[in-house]
A and B are shown apart, each in its own frame.
Chain A
Amino acid sequence: MGIEEKIPDGVLLTTVAKVLNIARKNSVWPAQFGLACCAIEMMAVGGPRFDIARFGMERFSASPRQADLMIVAGRVSQKMAPVLRQIYDQMSEPKWVLAMGVCASSGGMFNNYAIVQGVDHIVPVDMYLPGCPPRPEMLLDAILKLHDKIRTGPITGKLGITQIDDSPYEKPIERDTRTSKSLPVDVEIAPYANAAPLPGEDR
């Protein structure tokens, strides 16, 4: 953009960065990239009941040059992948990508030759949203988490970070149990939801 690229973060422009990031956070315009069933939920988010305009995302931009956030909603086929990358390249920086639904995030249940196993093979993804499809609240939650990320991010936004990292294949992991998020105690758990009664069991 301008001078902020030349000056290191936290020296001269801390307050400017805060103001700029608040402005950016509150005017993230999404580029629609609805590819499958997740797009239905994305449209519901644009409707009056969930009303994405409450978060400064006034309308889904059909033109990538007026968009800041690409919501990839649905499975990306191998044939769609170069198109997606081209749309992403046409967006003006700073720009963010939200992989909506398990298909866009990792391929989901479509682990086959036709589907890209996660759009992070093509574009850098800032927020992964599980669900098949995610309910509109889940998309709003992901957008709010992304807002938080934008607000606390560097002044340069994601400037220049348009290349993907090494292939982020998932594999079984060893987790540090001290930092993990366990279920909060006050969450209501329906103990026998979605299960048939066992033989001889009194429900």
Chain B
Amino acid sequence: MTDQLEPRQGGSPAIQQSSGAPEERRSNPIKDTLAPIAGFGVTFKTMLTKTVTEQYPEDKRPTEPRYHGRHVLNRHADGLEKCIGCELCAWACPADAIYVEGADNTEEARFSPGERFGAVYQINYLRCIFCGLCIEACPTRALTMSNEYELADDSRADLIYTKDQLLAPLQPGMEAPPHPMRLGDDEKAYYAPKGSGQ
């Protein structure tokens, strides 16, 4: 035991030098007086700088434009939904947060320009990790993300957002579906109206 407690022989020269008696500290009255002031220098300097604190609830700073916030289900210019109920977003989702059920459009009730539309669309925000893979997967760009992030709630059920919450609000000139295609009779006329150059 005693062998292990003894210091090793032949350490580095620096250690051997420092093991001597500590050098007596010379007192310098001017330096000693100024030392606290130098120490408070950071404090005094910070008093003069601008405050970095964000006054969050009163002053909300905008996010970056491409921030991954809550989702939006977009509409065509006439108000029809872009979602075709293909479930590719649900397949792409790594957290299984999206639930989609597609259904057929009929002539009496048309929700999207094509054959199918998303009849049930739910996103569970307690699973969603806002990675954006659903947005990359969407073939019609029906699903995009907004910049809204204030999503906290005290109920698990209320954090499953349904289609009526996710759909983009109707802009002026839009009409709530179901209604017939207003931008053109066939698909070519609908997607590339005259004057679009396509």
Contacts and interface: CB of A to CB of B under 8 A. Distances in A.
Contacts of A125: 154
A128 B147 contact: no
Contact of A170 (B66, B146, B156, B166): B156
Main secondary structure of the interface of B (DSSP, over half): loop
Nearest to A111: B96
B144 A182 contact: no
Nearest to B155: A128
Interface stretch (A16-24, A58-66, A135-143): A135-143
B146 A188 contact: yes
Contacts of A135: 63, 149
A108 B120 CA distance: 22
B135 interface: yes
B129 interface: yes
A182 B129 contact: no
A181 B126 CA distance: 16
Interface string B134-178: 011010010011111111111111011010111111000000000
A148 B141 CA distance: 38
B64 to A, nearest CB: 10
Contact of A127 (B54, B65, B154): B154
B112 interface: no
Interface of A: 48-51, 54, 102, 105-109, 111, 118, 120, 125-132, 134-135, 137-138, 140-142, 144-146, 149, 168, 170, 172-173, 175, 177, 180-185, 187-196, 198, 200
B149 A138 contact: yes
Contact of A189 (B54, B124, B146, B151): B146
A118 B147 CA distance: 26
B152 A130 contact: yes
Contact of A175 (B70, B155, B162): B162
Given A106-B127, A126-B154, A145-B154, A191 B149 contact: no
Nearest to B158: A181
Interface in B57-94: 57, 60, 63, 65-66, 68, 70, 72, 74, 94
A184 B127 CA distance: 23
Q: Which of B135, B150, B160 has its CB near the most chain A CB atoms (within 10 A)?
A: B150
For A120, A144, A194, A195, the residue with the greatest tally of chain B CB atoms inside 10 Å of its CB is A194
B117 interface: no
Interface in B95-141: 95-96, 99, 120, 122, 124-132, 135-136, 138, 141
Contacts of B135: 193-195
Contact of A145 (B144, B152, B198): B152
B144 A193 contact: yes
Nearest to B132: A194
A132 B130 contact: yes
B40 interface: no
B158 to A, nearest CB: 8
Contacts of B160: 170, 172-173
Contacts of A184: 169
Contacts of A193: 65-66, 135, 144-145
Given A108-B129, A140-B56, A170 B148 contact: no
